[in-house]
Chains A and B, each alone.
Chain A
Amino acid sequence: MKRFVLYLALLSAGQLVFAELRIEVTEGVDNAVRVAVVPFAIRGRSVPETNIRDVVDADLTLSGRFETLPIGQMLSLPSSGDDVFQRDWQLLKVEYLIMGNVSLAEDTLGDKAVVVTFELYNVFRGVVEATQTISGSREDVRDLAHHISDVVFEELTGIRGVFATQILYVTASGPVGDRRFRLNVADADGYRVQTLLESREPIMSGTWSPTGDEIAYVSFEDDGRPGIYVLDIGTRRSKRVAQFEGINGAPAFSPDGRQLAMVLSRGDNPDIYILNRETNRLRRVTRHYLTDTEPSWTPDGRYIVFTSDRGGKPQIYQVALDDLSLERLTFEGDYNARASMLPGGQSIVMVHRRNDVFHIALLDLIRGRLMVLTETELDESPSVAPNGSMLIYATQERAGGPGILAAVSIDGGVKFRLPSSEGDVREPAWSPVKRKTFVPR
């Protein structure tokens, strides 16, 4: 461990597929909507890769807001509203049907090879509430299915779906002295894991650029020294953007993507800096002899929210970027850290210690009300989904056990766990955009 051996590899897309994260719903809503996702009819040549129906069914189930009907209980298998016998579904108390068909285009290898038409059918009213025809390549079948889930979710809940997004996270495996760290990205349902970076030295604090094209992270790959790197997802190339003496940590892209906030100690103590990515100039925005860390931008880009122990214990502050004026945001509890603001800018989520246990909490900044969202222990690294309705965080399988990811809805009503067979999983970051978008015909 002390020999500063370095092993580093940038792996190309899909080259390695590791054990996937598995989602388990631990708490769903009481009044789940009953839906049936009918097997899609196949027109012409079959599309073998992925079963669209199963992906949609799993998405809706794992959202915690729907109860889906098993195929075995279906009395008929319609593929459009014209074929539906309402009574078949009324008997089973199904409220909505999702159905459709899949066909393979002439050009079976093109980027419009797979054509999917789907309908969302309201059983009670007997009408089709939404229908689309979308197409993609054979590799896009899962993306097409997640797109369907997103459309259905938004129609039925009024909330934008996040099934087509991705999760960035770090894993650590192997015994002390022979650890392997990986920076991975997976679909929000845990499938299609790709390793972006592998190292014998720690990897930390992965975060997305606002467009989802780049990822910033901290790596100790250079002889054990920390540096901040930016990875271009398209080219898989990493570029080091900061390596000063001392701490180089906690990168955070500004909402316009042009600046990168970070923590540098420069041989002294950690403060918050902003790197202008065009001019490459650094601006120091906090100056205190104690710790300032974990910067996060407000959605309007005018403030940075950060953790500081300048008051004795870690609390959340915000600094205005025009005049560098400071405001303390948290007063309840003696450990509040790693805050980030929700899209509306009215609440923050953060790590909050209560009775010696670390939980994820939501603080309503307008009403000053704090709500603890999680019941697990040693919770950290909350990351809010782009629709603002869920957050993913890191916790432990059991006390002292391996790190796992878990998710909770912002109202605390839906909870999941994402166990993995691959060692310790930590520091999830929810992608701000979908992996792929499809324009309906």
Chain B
Amino acid sequence: MRNVTARSLLLLVAASLLIAGCQAPTQEPEPTSEPVVQPAPEPTAPPTPPEPSVSITSGGDVRVDLTGTSGEELLNGTFYFDFDQAIVKRSGFQMLNKHASALNIDRSLKLRLEGHADERGTREYNIALGERRANAVRSYLVARGASRSQIEVISYGEEKPAVLGGGETSWSQNRRVELNYRR
């Protein structure tokens, strides 16, 4: 049962909550209507094998429990690039593998890859550079089993800096691809 949808997980959680007699688990407040799936508390229902789970935060990040046992992890969704480069850094591989797994586990997940550049160079050329970066991340995720149809690429070039101002400290934080999930 690899393709567990969030909805069935939610039902499972809801059912277990009912049986547990409204013993609500502590949930952090979420200012959103997005379904928040917490790891199922010890099910009082017939024991089921551990299931991987995936949920999206209001900020468009993703939480996963890849094994169903080790607890949730909020996946880092920002990957940085070198100047004028669109090569995914080795240091990001491990985290990207987890994103690929999340996309693989839950095929209803939609991922938007937002490519960005620093302010140096012309604006439309930077749009192209941002897209190249996002495409590189997409290729990596697809090679790791995500479906290309789950992924949308949008480049904002230098139009949406993470940090305003000049100098390498700002620029290095602006050369990035942000992963933004939705359903």
- Shortest distance between the CB of A151 and any CB in chain B (Å): 37
Interface residues of B in 140-168 (CB under 8 A from A): 152-157, 159-167
- Shortest distance between the CB of A210 and any CB in chain B (Å): 21
- Shortest distance between the CB of B181 and any CB in chain A (Å): 9
B131 touches A265 (CB 8 A): yes
Known contacts A176-B162, A202-B156, A202-B159; decide if A247 and B125 are in contact (CB<8 Å).
no
A307 at the interface (CB under 8 A from B): yes
**What's the Cα separation between A419 and B125 when bound, in Å?**
25
A226 touches B154 (CB 8 A): yes
Knowing that A270-B131, A358-B121 touch, tell me 18 more A-B residue pairs with CB under 8 angstroms.
A176-B161, A176-B163, A204-B124, A204-B127, A204-B159, A205-B123, A247-B127, A247-B131, A249-B124, A249-B127, A263-B128, A265-B128, A269-B128, A291-B129, A293-B127, A314-B121, A351-B121, A380-B121
Which residues of the other chain, A, contact B156 by a CB distance below 8 angstroms? 202, 220
B120 at the interface (CB under 8 A from A): yes
A-B contacts, 17 listed (Cβ < 8 Å): A2-B59, A3-B58, A175-B164, A176-B162, A205-B124, A224-B154, A246-B155, A263-B128, A269-B128, A269-B132, A293-B127, A314-B125, A337-B125, A351-B122, A378-B120, A381-B122, A400-B170
Known contacts A176-B161, A291-B132; decide if A246 and B124 are in contact (CB<8 Å).
no
Seen from chain B, the residues whose Cβ lies within 8 Å of a Cβ on chain A are: 58-60, 112, 119-125, 127-129, 131-132, 152-157, 159-167, 170, 178, 180
Known contacts A2-B180, A226-B154, A247-B128; decide if A358 and B120 are in contact (CB<8 Å).
yes
**What's the Cα separation between A247 and B157 when bound, in Å?**
10
A307 touches B131 (CB 8 A): no
A374 at the interface (CB under 8 A from B): no
B162 touches A291 (CB 8 A): no
Query: Which of B120, B159, B161, B162 is the most central at the interface, judged by chain A CB atoms within 10 Å of its CB?
Result: B159
- Shortest distance between the CB of B107 and any CB in chain A (Å): 20
**What's the Cα separation between A191 and B111 when bound, in Å?**
45
A250 at the interface (CB under 8 A from B): yes
- Shortest distance between the CB of B11 and any CB in chain A (Å): 27
B123 touches A380 (CB 8 A): yes
Report which of B122, B131, B178 forms a contact with A337, defined as CB distance below 8 A: B122
Which residues of the other chain, B, contact A202 by a CB distance below 8 angstroms? 156, 159-160
**What's the Cα separation between A351 and B122 when bound, in Å?**
8
Known contacts A204-B123, A335-B121, A381-B122; decide if A270 and B164 are in contact (CB<8 Å).
no
Which residues of the other chain, B, contact A246 by a CB distance below 8 angstroms? 131, 153, 155
A179 at the interface (CB under 8 A from B): yes
**What's the Cα separation between A115 and B160 when bound, in Å?**
49
Report which of A3, A176, A220, A338 forms a contact with B124, defined as CB distance below 8 A: A338
Which residues of the other chain, B, contact A221 by a CB distance below 8 angstroms? none
Which residues of the other chain, A, contact B121 by a CB distance below 8 angstroms? 314, 335, 337, 351, 358, 380
**What's the Cα separation between A107 and B178 when bound, in Å?**
62
Which residues of the other chain, A, contact B153 by a CB distance below 8 angstroms? 246, 267
Report which of B152, B155, B166, B170 forms a contact with A247, defined as CB distance below 8 A: B155
A160 at the interface (CB under 8 A from B): no
Interface residues of A in 186-231 (CB under 8 A from B): 202, 204-205, 220, 224-226
Seen from chain A, the residues whose Cβ lies within 8 Å of a Cβ on chain B are: 1-3, 172, 175-176, 179, 202, 204-205, 220, 224-226, 245-247, 249-250, 263, 265, 267, 269-270, 291, 293-294, 307, 314, 335, 337-338, 351, 358, 378, 380-381, 396, 399-401, 426-427
Which residues of the other chain, A, contact B129 by a CB distance below 8 angstroms? 291
- Shortest distance between the CB of A228 and any CB in chain B (Å): 12
Report which of B112, B124, B167 forms a contact with A400, defined as CB distance below 8 A: B167
Which residues of the other chain, B, contact A400 by a CB distance below 8 angstroms? 165-167, 170
**What's the Cα separation between A269 and B120 when bound, in Å?**
21
**What's the Cα separation between A400 and B127 when bound, in Å?**
20
Which residues of the other chain, A, contact B165 by a CB distance below 8 angstroms? 400
Which residues of the other chain, A, contact B132 by a CB distance below 8 angstroms? 269, 291
Q: With CB as the reference atom, state the residue of chain B lying closest to A250.
A: B124
Report which of A224, A291, A335 forms a contact with B128, defined as CB distance below 8 A: A291
Which residues of the other chain, A, contact B112 by a CB distance below 8 angstroms? 224
- Shortest distance between the CB of B167 and any CB in chain A (Å): 6
A399 touches B128 (CB 8 A): no
B154 touches A225 (CB 8 A): yes
Which residues of the other chain, A, contact B60 by a CB distance below 8 angstroms? 2-3
Which residues of the other chain, B, contact A224 by a CB distance below 8 angstroms? 112, 154
Leading 5 A-B pairs by shortest Cβ distance: A400-B166, A202-B159, A2-B60, A291-B128, A338-B122
